[in-house]
Amino acid sequence: MSSNLDPAIAARLKRSPDGLVPAIAQQYDTGEVLMLGWMDDEALHRTLTTGRCTYWSRSRNEYWVKGDTSGHVQHVKSVALDCDADTVLVKVDQVGAACHTGARTCFDADVLPVSQ
């Protein structure tokens, strides 16, 4: 699939065999980790140019813009690649729940015990 992503950014990305990179959404002002989604080059391009997070749905095999159906929008504040360019960190201003379950974050329901 062709993409309008800046070729310099596309050249840096290290994608999975299916062409995706994990994208972590984090609340920009509190640091709260909200969710993990997947982006291909076009989803990243759309995220960078629209100011709204666009992800690739592996189950539906289509793009989805966070909040288009739920109203729980992610307004993009910044986007960064990690040191290996194999993960994207999107700092957002989350409106409403980030998780499809209706929870604020996808990471608060099943905290695992840690031995000290």
Q: Name the binding residues.
A: 82-84, 86, 99, 106
| Residues 6 or more apart in contact with residue 113 via CB below 8 angstroms | none
User: What is the Cα–Cα distance from 41 to 27, expressed in whole angstroms?
Assistant: 23
Is the alpha carbon torsion for 62, 102, 70, 97 positive or negative?
negative
Residues belonging to the binding site for Mg(2+) are 82, 84, 86
Residues belonging to the binding site for Zn(2+) are 83, 99, 106
| Residues 6 or more apart in contact with residue 59 via CB below 8 angstroms | none
Instruction: Identify the CA nearest to 55 among candidates 16, 90, 10.
Output: 90
